[in-house]
Structure 1
Amino acid sequence: MKTTIQYIFLPLALLFLVSCQQEETEFKTNRQDYDHFLASEPVRTTSKYFKLWDNKIKSDSIQLLSLGNVAGEYSRFFEGTGDIKYLKDAEQSLKKAVEIAAVGKSGYLRALARNYISQHRFKEALQLAKEARVLGSGVNETQSLLFDLHMELGNYDLANQYLDSIQNMSDFGYLIRVAKWNDHKGDLDTAIQFMEKATAKAESSKNKDLLLWSYTNLADFYGHAGRIEDSYKLYLRALRIDPQNAYAKKGIAWIVYSHERNGTEALRILDSIMKKNKSPEYYLLKAEVASFLNDDMLKVQALDSYYRIVGNNKDYGDMYNAHNVDFLLSMDVEQSAFKLAQKEVNNRPTPESYGWLAYSLLYLGEEQKAMEVIEKHVIGATYEPAILHQAAEIYKANGKKEKVSELKQELMGAVYELGPVKEVQIASL
């Protein structure tokens, strides 16, 4: 009898020890790793070369090389500061370059198209890409651009054709695009494999811009795969290259918030970013963290700041349409949200855009119509957790318990990506 009791309690003891070990080894961030990056200097928005090129433009508007260089600097300033005026300044320089270029015009067309992509002016960008293709120069670059555009526009069959046309396993541009393609298909493991190959290419090239892009994007993939520590290390590696990189800091803030559930520290990181970067998206994340902390006043202040920035500046155009639909629904302005969702579907008919259209229909009490939209345009067309969460809510409103259960199981595997606030909503499905 004594031996039997020992054998019964031995597995329990082992289970307890394993549980304790898991708790002890669970990854946690360390403020000392990133604190000094939070105090980095503001992004510089000038340089002696920029002044030289800018002066040449002002004195002689046909200085083509200077126009291109100034546009590149304006784009860099936008990435660093989040200030929309730099993106618009870059647009003006590139439009002038396209207008006067006799040689290398296709390159300026592609650059202007990428500027338009940043502004979510996808159909205009597509027209420029087609013009560049007719000119013939830089065919591979144009095919790559066309892949990017058709992915943004939801034309996935066409995008796949352009991806096939640039196939080259030794090319960084191809590797990052095939990674994106596999992520779109829901094959995260394969996406990571290709992104790791691209990162290795960037490391061998020692190109700072490629390294930053590779580290932060691979960090995102690792996070989605539950490899939080690997994600964190890559964000830190990016910050060692560029201590001002807001995207990497935001990535760390998300780890602190979503993985560690430390909303107060996440807000501290966000506030340090927002002192130097004007991008409106940080106010939305701040509002979400405030909601998690049950700080209603801070949430309202953050949302108000977001709306005042985006709503009062026409330069943002359609860049924040999807976010604005979400904002309007949260403010119980359902009809305006529906109209904006319709506009976004027209601009960008992706599963994500249709997801917002369906969600706005749900808020209008049109449950059946909402379900028809997601079954035609969303289910099977995207693996984006936020959109599938909307689909689950729509199925729930239509009494489709089995479909809700299937989606709920899938969504519970994406709680890190969705965050603690959404996790509570998913649990209640």
Structure 2
Amino acid sequence: MKTLKIIPLLVFTILSLFSCEKKPSQITNISDYNKYLNVKGNKSLTFANNEIDFWQKKFDAAPNQISYLSMIASNYATLFEYTGDIKNLYKTEELLTKSNEAYDYSRVSTIRSLARNYIAQHRFKEALVLANKAFSIGEGLKETQKLLFDVQMELGNFPEAVKNLNAMRDMKDYDYLIRLAKWNDHKGDLKTAITFMEKARDIAEKEDNKVLKIWSYSNLGDFYGHAGRIQESYDSYLKTLAIDPNYSYALKGIAWIVFSHERNTVEAKRIVEAIEVTHNTPDFYLLKSQIAQFEGNKKEEISNRNAYFSMLQKNNYGAMYNKYNALIYADDKQTASKALEIAKIEIDHRPTPDSYDLLAWSYLNLGENKKALEIAKKHVVGQSFEPKVQYHLAMIYKSNKQIEKVQPIKEELLSSVYELGPNLEKKVNQL
């Protein structure tokens, strides 16, 4: 840890008096999370690799034992979760497809596993076909309804999603509560969403279920952050890491606090670069690009963005990064037409308010203000409460001279600055 340079008291006082920005409160402490930045080994990965070897040998010796394929597949899914290596996700798909074909798509649990794999790949329509197939078989309906809710939410079929949510209603069921939380978050009722997520966490703690505790703490970390409860967000991420020191998602959450709340770009970069060693995915380059942009380092900003696109070219991520790509392209007038193409593909994949926001935003950046407004009014207003979507909406109103609609959104956005990040804060202030 670097020692701070001592500033003479008088200079410090003058700086304080003339600084118009209030210094953000210090939430994080390097000693809390430093031990998680260079963890030697990963028990979950070692276990998954050993399991793959074990079940693969058993399957090679008895190829008629199809159930072994699902065992191997679930461990490749674990490899993907911890490494971010897309090849592991595709290997999972390959094994589950083989297994489903052998069972002639009659085994509900295997069908659902493949559907979940498709969701991870952003192949939502194919996931829905499988979910409906599992539902028509009729076995284990409650589990299938959970899957159907998840898929319908991704596709923007909200009435259908609610129908499945209501069908599995059980206030003592962890899986129901986390979906109820998701539904309330979608509706823009974050306070209620947090309440249900906390109830789910209580169940996880009562059952002392490691997997459910990790999921609850990390998601509460996100929710608390969105609500501006940064200290609780940080504490939740630390609780996640205490159970699983290799859980990079929680470290990324801490990196965001360090960057967005504390504005400590050097430390945020250090955390991100430590995560990348074991969990290398394209989005980390985008985060580093954002950090460089805030620092005013144009060269680093472009270099990281190029590294992001380079990684996409080297690996086939399918539609998984379409949203990121559309937002990057839309921000530059020269590439806004590319953003429009992607937005149209996204609407075909998942016609959600967020996808229509990409379309409206692309049209706005192509100078088609009225078209952008028309799409936003029909498909976005009152249907998505994501801060970034709201910012786009304010810009669309502004460009259409509907200034009276901008101010209320601006006020709302100023309370979501943490979630939006430092770069967008400047733009919100200019609304």
Question: Would you say same fold, with TM above 0.5?
Answer: yes
CA shift for structure 1 position 97: 1.3
**Distance in 2 between the 1:154 and 1:92 partners?**
28
1:310 and 2:309 are equivalent in the alignment: no
Structure 1 residues 228-239: aligned runs within 5 Å: 228-239=230-241
Aligned residue number for residue 349 of structure 2: 347
Matched residue type, 2:205: E
**Distance in 2 between the 1:103 and 1:270 partners?**
42
**Distance in 2 between the 1:341 and 1:104 partners?**
36
Structure 1 residues 330-369: aligned runs within 5 Å: 330-331=331-332, 332-369=334-371
Structure 1 residues 110-189: aligned runs within 5 Å: 110-189=112-191
Structure 2 residues without counterparts, runs of 5 or longer: 1-21
1:407 and 2:413 are equivalent in the alignment: no
**Identity of paired residues, percent?**
46
Aligned residue number for residue 75 of structure 2: 73
Structure 1 residues 15-54: aligned runs within 5 Å: 26-41=25-40, 43=42, 44=45, 46-54=48-56
Structure 1 residues 194-233: aligned runs within 5 Å: 194-233=196-235
Matched residue type, 2:196: F
Matched residue type, 1:39: N
CA shift for structure 1 position 365: 0.9
CA shift for structure 1 position 56: 2.9
Q: Is the contact between residue 219 and residue 232 of structure 1 (CA under 8 Å) also seen in structure 2?
A: yes
CA shift for structure 1 position 371: 0.6
Q: Is the contact between residue 113 and residue 124 of structure 1 (CA under 8 Å) also seen in structure 2?
A: yes
Matched residue type, 2:243: I
Aligned residue number for residue 287 of structure 1: 289
Q: Is the contact between residue 258 and residue 267 of structure 2 (CA under 8 Å) also seen in structure 1?
A: yes
**Distance in 2 between the 1:131 and 1:284 partners?**
38
* Structure 1 residues 297 and 365: CA distance shift in structure 2, 3 A: same
CA shift for structure 1 position 65: 2.3
**Distance in 2 between the 1:62 and 1:336 partners?**
48
Q: Is the contact between residue 27 and residue 229 of structure 1 (CA under 8 Å) also seen in structure 2?
A: no
Q: Is the contact between residue 62 and residue 100 of structure 1 (CA under 8 Å) also seen in structure 2?
A: no
Matched residue type, 2:234: Y
**Distance in 2 between the 1:26 and 1:357 partners?**
37
Matched residue type, 1:80: Y
Matched residue type, 2:338: S
- What SS does the corresponding residue of 1:47 show, helix, strand or coil? helix
1:33-67 CA distance string (max 9 Å, x none): 00010011354365322211122334444332221
**Distance in 2 between the 1:293 and 1:363 partners?**
25
Aligned residue number for residue 5 of structure 1: none
RMSD over equivalenced CA pairs, Å: 1.7
Give 1:270's match in structure 2, choosing from 269, 272, 275: 272
Q: Is the contact between residue 360 and residue 372 of structure 2 (CA under 8 Å) also seen in structure 1?
A: yes
CA shift for structure 1 position 120: 0.3
Q: Is the contact between residue 117 and residue 125 of structure 1 (CA under 8 Å) also seen in structure 2?
A: yes
Matched residue type, 1:347: H
Task: Count residues in correspondence.
Answer: 406
**Distance in 2 between the 1:92 and 1:118 partners?**
14
Q: Is the contact between residue 106 and residue 137 of structure 2 (CA under 8 Å) also seen in structure 1?
A: no
1:181-239 CA distance string (max 9 Å, x none): 11111111111110000001111222221111110001111111111111111101111
Deviates more, 1:103-112 or 1:293-302: 103-112
**Distance in 1 between the 2:264 and 2:61 partners?**
53
Structure 1 residues 352-391: aligned runs within 5 Å: 352-391=354-393
- What SS does the corresponding residue of 1:167 show, helix, strand or coil? coil
**Distance in 2 between the 1:279 and 1:24 partners?**
32
* Structure 1 residues 59 and 278: CA distance shift in structure 2, 3 A: farther
Q: Is the contact between residue 336 and residue 366 of structure 2 (CA under 8 Å) also seen in structure 1?
A: yes
Matched residue type, 2:308: Y
Q: Is the contact between residue 153 and residue 161 of structure 2 (CA under 8 Å) also seen in structure 1?
A: yes
Matched residue type, 1:345: I
**Distance in 2 between the 1:42 and 1:356 partners?**
40
CA shift for structure 1 position 381: 0.4
**Structure 2 length normalisation: TM-score?**
0.91
CA shift for structure 1 position 24: 11
**Distance in 1 between the 2:360 and 2:313 partners?**
23
